[in-house]
Amino acid sequence: MKKMFNITAPEGLHARPAALLVTAVTPFECDVQLMYKEKSVNLKSIMGVMALGIAPGSIVEISAEGPDAEKLFQTITEVIVSKGIGEEC
């Protein structure tokens, strides 16, 4: 399962929004990856997410595989939209 998001936060995906995303997905069993500019990192790793240097206006892809992937996407979409991090493409 995959979804694309446009990062609209004026500061991009820096420490605070990265921490919100990592915290939101950590309880889930499935494997979840964040892809940006052909680089993929585990979305459960805050250092990995921050190392991508995702700027405002960037399009990222989130993919997840596992038994709770559908619920993970509901949660992550809610966090991204409600916290002003971005919007679903």
Residue 4, H or E segment: strand 2-7
CA distances, 78 to each of 21, 26, 51, 84 (Å): 10, 15, 24, 10
The active-site residue, picked from 6, 8, 14, 75, is: 14
88 is catalytic: no
Question: What are the catalytic residues?
Answer: 14
